Amino acid sequence: MPSANQELKSVFLGRFTTNQCRQSLCPTTPLTLTSPPTSVGRGVIWRSGNFAVKPIAAQLTMHSPVGEITLSEDEGAIVSLDWGRTPPGFQSETPLLEQARDVLNRYFDGDFSEHNLPLAPAGTAFRQKVWQAMRRIPAGRTQSYGELATSIGSAPRAVGGACGANPIPILIPCHRVLAAGGGIGGYSGDGGAETKRALLRLEGALS
- Residues designated catalytic: 174
**Residues 90 and 41 sit within 8 Å (Cβ to Cβ):** yes
Q: What span, in angstroms and rounded, lies between the C-alpha atoms of 11 and 26?
A: 7
Please tell me the chain's helix, strand, coil percentages from 3-state DSSP, rounded to the nearest 5. 35, 15, 50
Question: What are phi and psi for residue 50, nearest 5 degrees?
Answer: -115, 170
Ramachandran region, residue 120 (left: φ > 0; alpha: ψ -120 to 50; beta: rest): beta
Q: CA 94 to CA 115: how far, in whole Å?
A: 18
Q: CA-to-CA distance for 143 and 169, rounded, in angstroms?
A: 16
Interatomic CA distance for residues 194 and 66, integer angstroms:
9
* Residues 10-34: b if buried by 16+ CB within 10 A, e if exposed: bbbbbeeebeebbeebebeeebeee
> What does each C-alpha distance from 39 to 5, 36, 153 come to in angstroms?
15, 9, 46
* Cα 79 to Cα 66: distance, rounded to the nearest angstrom: 20
